[in-house]
Every structure is written in structure tokens, then in C-alpha cells.
């Protein structure tokens, strides 16, 4: 019988996942709601309504929600509880914590960035159990990393660390060399893949690509990999970029494990051996031999587990504080 | 009156610095000894003789050495006390701790990598006091970084983290674009600067450079900056590389401070505003506004202070353990 229940929320740009996870990591509830074209307060209202609903539902079953953990795809301003979420219009400085508070009457609320949640989730219930030096490289619409070094989260002085999408490593460029360099994210995120493919299609009149430029998504590119030359070129370009990023992180952090995941990465699991091969060219050679490169084990639930774990850690810290005082 | 005295040693490829620092950070002794052409055991003997001498000297003054801290320019294998120091011939797997033990009869010995010592030194007695998120980018013969994130040292699973010299970011290349990329260290370390200048001199017949190719050192290049075109080009190339490395570290760690130092960097202090300007082009734009970029305050003594601090922390941890048990 669980003694603690966390309502856990994974915010995305197109959908919100809700879950209830107990202190043993058992998932008691898991539902995804599309946000579609909603923006601003409408997204907030969708979330708070759903929270009220879930709390009532648990109340009926005489189960209490002890805390709410939220995975935020952007920047969390912990002092104010406001968030910046680039993928939701009108959420440049949105009072998320305050709004959830109104719907949840006194239940503690913990907000964490999605990348932090991903690595926490894998450490708690996924492929990084027991790892004190581990990185989750999240490849989605954008690119970020959740980092645990020496057992401690690397979030930076203002909670915006792990912005590895901004890393510069321009080496393998397609076509003419670009002396201005290339930020990792713009080359190798979901958006980057789409833009690169579109550029190649427009720049190659008479190409016989089966990709459809207008509604193109990263998953279409992966699907067409075996049959479409442009798709293959884009993915190969990304493998080089991902490999260099992995190499840089391995040289800097000397981790025991590096986990690849995120909304776009799923179909790229088959390329992990190639990514490792590419990383081998660049990484510090001793560290290069000493880490495991693996796909996320929790997949689309990594954020839910991680936000739940962050909330559990908050509750435990509070209990310890009370014991001491 | 100090209650604790640390014998602190900063090993370099060409000289060894010895110091005695008390728990308040006061330096009671500071001497540099050239190693010149010594290698293998001869370097070990030089060190252990000097240690015996210093211990005797303090004995006479009725002062006890409580611990020995050593800054090692390479990899420390903590389990065995053996070290890999690429700049000392024959020190691929040298039993440094064991040898010092013989000369110091039971005094605790703490070995740390030089980059870790640098950042610890600046945090304890230099420009990074009170910083919980700070990076020391050490530019010497090679390039490495000492990193403190969330108050905790980032040393990696095998103590070889911070190998930022292996970062790949090839963008501003001189001459023809090199599609194979460029590891940071080979472009922008002391060795890299010398090789680049030599290549430019040999590749430009009739150049009127005042640099002398055969005995060239990084400091000659800095000295010639205002009057020599090749020197200026090399330094400008390094400013771009250092700027990109700073940008990557700022994006990844969101530090409050990044300290530039190391054996080669000294004369480059005047270029810090240009390095910052270059970093601004690449770094995560919020983090970019929130960090200080400064020169090492402790300069050539950073390693001595840091090794002393590591030893003090070891002694404090031991006292706390004894209290608990």
C-alpha cells in the first residue's frame, strides 16, 4: 500500500501528460491531453481543471495527493513560480505555480525543467539507477541536457544550465563550409532536421524525394530513411552532430552513462552504434571507453517519473527538516 | 597562530612549486624548483628530498605539517595513488603517493588534478569566494577545466572530467576550412599556438615575422602581438577559440563566474573583453548576461592554494567522521 502519492504533470508544446505515481514508482494513472491550438491562459485552465478532477477522483477513492510535480519545457523561475515556455504562446512569464495553487488547496507544488526531470526519472526508475554521473541528452523540438554530476544536479546559478543546444561545433557541414559555426540545436534538433531537409529539397530541383516539404516532421524523415536519399543525408548529418555533442559531454563530465531520448529521438535508437562510433572520433580517449550510451528506458514517461521524483525528494527534505528542528 | 599547516606542492612539466599554507590561507613558505631535463624516478626523488627537507625545517621551528596536498598536471588514480603526467617522461603510471609516503612518515597525502586545484584555490582564497557555480579554464601547454557546479566538484566517474581540451568546435579556421573539425586544445593551447605560428611562418615564404620558429613559445607570440602580423593572427584565432569554449561552458553550466588562467594565459588578460565579446555570439543568451569573466587572482599560486584546500577539506572530513563514530 503506497503511503505517498504524487500527481505528476509533463507539459509539452502539443500535449500535457498527467500521471499519479507513488513512492515506489508505481504508476496509478496516466493520461495525455492534447493542447492543440490553445495558448496563454487557456492552457493554464486546461491544466488546473484536470488537476481538480484528478484530486477529486483520488478523494473518492480515499487516496490523498501529497504533492504535485510538474516538468516544464523551458525555464522555471523558482523564486516566483513563473515559467517561460517557448512552445506555448503567451507563456513568456506565466504564473504557473500560482494558478496550480488555486486548484489544489495547499498541496506542495514542485516545478522542474523537463531536462532535469528526464535525468531524475531515469535515475529513479529507468536505465540510470545507481548512476552518480549521468547525462540525459534530450533531442526534441529543441535540444537540452539533464545532468547529474557527483550525485548532484547540474542546474547552474540561475537554473538554466544544461542548455547544450547552444553548443558550437560546426565541423561536418553539408555543402559549403560555414565559417560562422553552427549551434548544435539549429543543426540537429527536430526543427533543425526539418529545416535542413526542406533546404535540401528546395535546393535540389528535380530531386525524387518522397518527403512532403510543407507538413514535414522529424518522424517522417526517420521513416523515409531506408528509401529516400535526402532523408538519409539529413539523418547522417544528425548522427555526426549528435556524436560530437556526446563526445563533448563525455570529455567534460566523464559520465558512467549517457542516455539519449526526447520527443524526436525515439526512431533514432537504431543509430546509437553509429552515434557512438562518431563520438569515439572526438571524445577524451580514456573517458570514451568508460561510459555506456543507451536509449531512454522510460521513453515518453521520463518526464512524469522525474517530476514525481523531484516532488518526492522535496517531501523527504521537508520531513528531514522537521526532524532536525 | 595557525593550528593546521599544509605542505602544498604544485607539479609542473618544467618546475615544481612547494609551499606551506595554514588553515587561514596564509603562505609561510613558497619556493620553485626547476626539473629541467629530469624524468622518471629522478623527478620523484627531487620531490621527496625537498619534502623531507621542509618537514625537518618546520620540525626545528616546532611546527608540524598536518597534511601534504599535491596538484598533479594529469590524471590521479585515487585508488592506487599512482599518477599519469604526460609532461614528465616515465610518469605514465607513477607511484607518486607511495614515494611521498616514504618521505613523510604517516602524514596524510592528498593528490588532486591541477585543474581541480585551480578552481578550489580560487574558491578558497581567490576571485571565486562564495561561488557555487564556477569554472576555471586553464590554458597551459594543454587545456583543462576545474568545475564546481551546485557547490560540488565535477570530476566525473573516473576523475577525468573537465577534459575540455577535447571539445570540438571547428568554426573559425584559418585558411582552408577543415571539415574534420578541430579539438579545442590542438587549436588554442600553448602548444597549439606555437604549432599554428610555425605553420604560418613556414607556409608564408618571405613573411617578415620577427618570431623565431625553432625556439618559439606562446609567450613570444603574446609579446610580439602589437608589432608582428603572424603573432596577431595567432592570438586572434585563439580569442575566437577561447570565446567559443567559454560560450559552451556558459551554456552547459550557467556559472556565476568563469575564471581564465593557466601557465600560458597570463599575457592574454588584456584580451578578456574580446574573449567575452566572442563568447557572446554563441552562448545561451540568458546565461550569457549572468556570468563574470575574470582572470585568475592567484595566478601561478592557484595550484598551491587549491592543493592546500583539498588537504584541509580532507582533514576536516576526517575530524567530522571521528566525531560521528
Segment B187-197, tens digit of pLDDT: 899 999 999 99
Q: Can you state the angle between helices B41-60 and B96-104, rounded to 10 degrees?
A: 30
The interface predicted TM-score (ipTM) is 0.93
Query: Minimal Cα–Cα distance from B308 to chain A, Å?
Result: 22
A287 chain-B contacts, CB cut-off 8 A = 156, 158, 160-161, 163
Mark yes or no for CB contact A254/B132 under 8 Å.
no
Q: A322 or B161, which is more confident?
A: B161
Q: Is it the case that residue B139 has pLDDT exceeding 90?
A: yes
Q: Which of B151, B162, B252 sits opposite A161 (nearest CB)?
A: B252
Count of residues making up chain B: 325
Portion of chain A with pLDDT greater than 90, in percent:
82
A165 HSE (CA, 13 A, CB side): 23
Query: Is the CB of residue B133 less than 8 Å from the CB of residue B150?
Result: yes
Interface test with A, best of B115, B163, B187, B256 (most A CBs within 10 A): B163
**B269 contacts chain A (CB < 8 A):** no
Find the mean pLDDT for residues B207-236. 94
Q: How many CB atoms lie within 10 A of CB B205?
A: 6
B chain contacts of residue A183, beta-carbon cutoff 8 Å? 282
Confidence (pLDDT) at B204: 86
B258 at A interface, C-beta within 8 A: no
Give the rounded percent of residues in chain A with a pLDDT score beyond 70: 96
Global pTM reads 0.93
Three cell numbers written together for A238: 544528425
pLDDT over 70 at B177, yes or no: no
Of B170, B248, B284, Cβ closest to residue A170? B170
Which residues fall within 8 angstroms of residue A136, CB to CB, at 6 or more apart? A115, A118, A119, A122, A128, A145, A146, A147, A259, A261, A296, A302
Q: What is the pLDDT of residue B182?
A: 67
Q: Do the chains contact at B171 and A168, CB–CB below 8 Å?
A: yes
B173 band by pLDDT with thresholds 50, 70 and 90: very low
Indicate yes or no: CB of A167 within 8 angstroms of CB of B248: yes
The string of DSSP letters for B233-272 reads HHHHHHHHHHHHHHHHHHHHH--SEEEEESTTTGGGGGGH
Lookup: cell for A115:
531536462
Arithmetic mean of pLDDT, B143-166: 95
State the average pLDDT over residues B231-247.
95
pLDDT of residue A116: 97
Task: Label residue B202 exposed, middle or buried (CB < 10 Å: 0-12, 13-18, 19+).
Answer: exposed
A78 Cα to chain B: minimum distance (Å)? 15
How many CB atoms sit inside 10 A of residue B42's CB? 15
Count of C-beta atoms within a 10 Å radius of residue A37: 8
C-alpha gyration radius of chain B: 21
- What's the pLDDT at A170? 60
pLDDT tens profile A195-236: 999 999 998 888 889 999 889 999 999 999 999 999 999 999
Would you call A261 helix, strand, or coil by DSSP? strand
* pLDDT the model gives residue A175: 36
Contact of A224 with A186, CB cutoff 8 Å: no
Q: State residue B145's pLDDT score.
A: 98
Q: B245-270: per-residue pLDDT in tens?
A: 999 999 999 999 999 999 899 999 99
CA distance A239 to A236: 5
Residue A278 C-alpha cell reads as 562518431
Task: Give yes or no for B157 touching A (CB within 8 A).
Answer: yes
Average pLDDT over every residue of A143-157: 96
Residue B170 has pLDDT above 80, yes or no: no
**Best residue in A75, A77, A157 to probe B by mutation, most B CBs within 10 Å?**
A157
Compute the 3-state secondary structure of chain A and give helix, strand, coil in percent, each to the nearest 5: 45, 20, 35
Interchain CB contacts (distance < 8 Å): A and B: 174
Nearest to B197 by CA among B220, B176, B163: B220
DSSP string, A149-201: ETTEE---TTS----GGG-B---S-SSS--TT--BHHHHHSHHHHHHHHHHHH
Domains of chain B by start residue, with CATH:
5-114+313-324 (3.30.420.40), 127-296 (3.30.420.40)
> Grid cell 481538480 — which residue?
A52
At A272-287, the pLDDT tens digits run 999 999 999 999 999 9
Q: Does A189 touch chain B (CB under 8 A)?
A: no
By mean pLDDT, which of A246-250, A258-262, B319-323 is the weakest? B319-323
Tens digit of each residue's pLDDT (9 = 90 or more) over B25-68: 999 999 999 998 899 999 999 999 999 999 999 988 888 999 99
List the single residue in B with minimal CA-CA distance to A256.
B157
Residue B239: is its pLDDT beyond 90?
yes
Give the pLDDT confidence of A1-33 residue by residue, as tens digits: 788 999 999 998 889 999 999 999 999 999 999
B21 to chain A, any CB pair closer than 8 A? The answer is no
Distance CA A26, CA A10 (A): 17
What stretches of B204-228 show up as alpha helix (H) in DSSP?
218-223
DSSP A112-149: EEHHHHHHHHHHHHSTTTT-SSEEEEEESSSEEEEEEE
Beta bridge mates, B218: none
Number of helical H runs and strand E runs in chain A: 10, 12
∠ at Cα A273 (A271, A278), nearest 5°?
A: 95
State how far the Cα of A152 lies from the Cα of B209, in Å rounded to an integer. Answer: 51
pLDDT surpasses 70 at A87 = yes
User: Residue ranges of the alpha helices (H) in chain B?
Assistant: 41-60, 96-104, 114-125, 184-188, 190-203, 218-223, 229-253, 272-280, 285-289, 302-324
Amino acid at each position: 500500500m503506497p503511503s505517498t502519492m504524487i500527481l505528476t504533470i509533463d507539459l509539452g508544446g502539443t500535449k500535457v501528460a498527467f500521471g499519479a505515481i507513488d513512492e515506489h514508482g508505481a504508476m496509478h494513472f496516466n493520461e495525455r491531453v492534447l493542447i492543440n491550438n490553445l495558448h496563454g491562459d487557456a492552457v493554464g485552465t486546461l491544466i488546473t481543471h484536470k488537476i481538480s478532477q484528478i484530486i477529486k477522483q483520488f478523494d473518492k477513492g480515499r487516496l490523498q495527493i501529497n504533492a504535485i510535480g510538474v516538468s516544464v519545457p523551458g525555464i522555471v523561475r523558482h523564486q516566483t513560480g513563473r515559467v517561460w515556455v517557448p512552445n506555448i504562446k503567451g507563456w513568456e512569464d506565466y504564473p504557473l505555480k500560482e494558478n496550480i495553487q488555486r486548484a489544489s488547496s495547499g498541496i506542495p507544488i514542485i516545478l522542474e525543467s523537463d531536462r532535469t526531470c528526464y535525468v531524475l526519472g531515469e535515475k529513479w526508475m529507468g536505465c540510470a539507477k545507481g548512476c552518480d554521473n549521468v547525462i540525459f541528452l534530450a533531442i526534441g523540438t529543441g535540444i537540452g541536457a539533464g545532468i547529474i554530476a557527483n550525485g548532484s544536479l547540474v542546474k547552474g546559478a540561475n537554473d538554466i544550465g544544461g542548455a547544450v543546444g547552444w553548443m558550437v561545433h560546426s565541423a561536418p557541414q553539408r555543402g559549403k563550409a560555414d565559417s560562422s559555426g553552427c549551434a548544435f540545436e539549429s543543426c540537429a534538433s527536430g526543427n533543425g532536421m526539418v529545416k535542413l531537409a526542406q533546404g535540401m529539397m528546395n535546393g535540389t530541383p528535380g530531386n525524387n524525394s518522397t518527403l512532403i516539404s510543407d507538413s514535414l516532421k522529424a518522424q517522417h524523415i526517420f521513416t523515409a530513411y531506408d528509401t529516400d536519399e535526402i532523408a538519409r543525408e539529413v539523418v547522417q548529418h544528425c548522427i555526426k552532430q549528435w556524436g560530437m555533442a556526446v563526445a563533448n559531454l563525455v570529455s567534460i563530465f566523464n559520465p558512467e552513462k549517457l542516455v539519449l531520448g526526447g520527443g524526436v529521438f525515439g526512431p533514432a535508437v537504431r543509430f546509437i552504434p553509429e552515434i557512438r562510433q562518431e563520438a569515439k572520433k572526438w571524445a577524451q580517449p580514456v573517458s570514451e571507453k568508460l561510459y555506456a550510451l543507451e536509449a531512454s528506458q522510460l521513453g515518453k514517461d521520463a518526464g512524469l517519473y522525474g517530476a514525481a521524483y523531484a516532488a518526492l525528494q522535496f517531501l523527504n527534505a521537508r520531513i528531514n527538516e522537521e526532524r532536525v528542528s
